[in-house]
Structure 1
Amino acid sequence: MFQAALRAPDHLWLRPWRFLVVEGERREALGRVMLDCLLRRDPEADETVRAKALNAPLRAPLLIVVLADITEHPKVPAVEQRLSAGCAAHAILLAAEALGYSGVWRTGNPAYDPEVVAALGGSRDEEITAFLYIGTREGTAKTLPAMSTDDFVARW
């Protein structure tokens, strides 16, 4: 999966991504980080909301936190580096599916909280692009609505 991520488009080979593997008991630690994030925003959150934040990382046996490592560069703006990290995250999901696993891309408030980045050992230049939940699907996959390419593709 990570080999696929390393093939993401990457202007000037900055490699603006990093991946944190979270599994086993570390998922519980990540849950505590997510709960702390919630309580900073909403100290009055009820027990149901608190439990959801605390237990979120336990929904899959493997989480991959994709971080965009943004570097000041005269030819590669930050937006291109963020897009590259997003492409790397997508490549991980595609590779997981090809290997017979299922994956879900999550963000939410913890992804945008600098204190969460710091708790994960990230630097001030890093941003969370995705929390990827990887595992074996239980039940049937969600059926996505059919879409027509005509709604999205035009000739110029």
Structure 2
Amino acid sequence: MNDTIALLERRRSAPPAVLTGPGPTAGELETILTLAARVPDHGKLAPWRFVVFEGAARARVGRIAEMIRLEDQPDLDDKARAEERGRFARAPLVVAVVSRAAPHVKIPEWEQVLSAGAVCMNLIVAARALGFTATWLTEWTAYDARFREAIGLAEHERIAGFLHIGRAPPVEDRVRPSLAAIVTTFPG
């Protein structure tokens, strides 16, 4: 079997809480991000960018998430507070893929958004090819304007996904849709 096909057949998401270290080295991360950026990008706009959370930055961004949640829910219990503080520490490394889609004279914003989604998938495949597991999540932090501003996003930027990267034990596959349920052949 072709190595690429085998790699794609083995791809699974794992809950970030089961991801362990070590995470990617600086060289491996550079490879992952370089390959993630090799996606269709009409107009060569690079309508996406990366924010990397590693080491102590994971705890710092978790405290930001906790503070924002406390603004909305001042009576947040200790368990929920700890969950927010640990949100970005569940995996050795978290990469935010940021969509910078914006109006353009030739390239529809929708195509720019799709390009950011392709970056997320390339990142997952590149991480897997290097022996890691990568899980693509958004969660509430991706949609909260205060959080996005606190991590340095511009007003028009959106989070396409938080990619949690680490090592995971084998994960059982989930049920996948049958092709008969999702494929239509247009009549000729």
TM-score under structure 2 length normalisation: 0.77
- Which of 161, 164, 180 is the aligned partner of 1:150? 180
CA distance in 2 between counterparts of 1:40 and 1:110 reads 14
Q: State whether structure 2 residue 125 is matched by structure 1 residue 94.
A: yes
CA distance in 1 between counterparts of 2:176 and 2:37 reads 31
CA distance in 1 between counterparts of 2:181 and 2:43 reads 33
Q: State whether structure 2 residue 57 is matched by structure 1 residue 26.
A: yes
Query: Where has structure 1 moved over 3 Å in runs of 4 or more?
Result: none
Structure 2: give runs of 5+ residues left out of the alignment: 1-31
Structure 1: give runs of 5+ residues left out of the alignment: none
- Which of 113, 117, 128 is the aligned partner of 1:82? 113
Deviates more, 1:9-18 or 1:32-41: 32-41
Q: CA deviation at 1:145?
A: 1.2
- Which of 26, 33, 39 is the aligned partner of 1:8? 39
* Residues 37, 110 of structure 1: 8 Å contact kept: no
3-state secondary structure, aligned to 2:89: helix
CA distance change for structure 1 residues 36 and 83 in 2, over 3 Å: closer, same or farther?
farther
CA distance in 1 between counterparts of 2:108 and 2:149 reads 23
3-state secondary structure, aligned to 1:37: helix
1:129 aligned partner, one-letter code: A
> Larger % of strand: which?
1
Q: What pairs up with 1:46-57 in 2 under 5 angstroms? A: 46-57=77-88
Q: CA deviation at 1:154?
A: 0.8
CA distance in 2 between counterparts of 1:25 and 1:86 reads 27
* Residues 103, 133 of structure 1: 8 Å contact kept: yes
CA distance in 2 between counterparts of 1:84 and 1:70 reads 9
Which of the pair has more CA radius of gyration? 2
3-state secondary structure, aligned to 2:95: strand
CA distance change for structure 1 residues 27 and 143 in 2, over 3 Å: closer, same or farther?
same
- Sequence identity, in percent? 35
Q: CA deviation at 1:85?
A: 0.7
3-state secondary structure, aligned to 1:59: coil
CA distance in 1 between counterparts of 2:89 and 2:172 reads 20
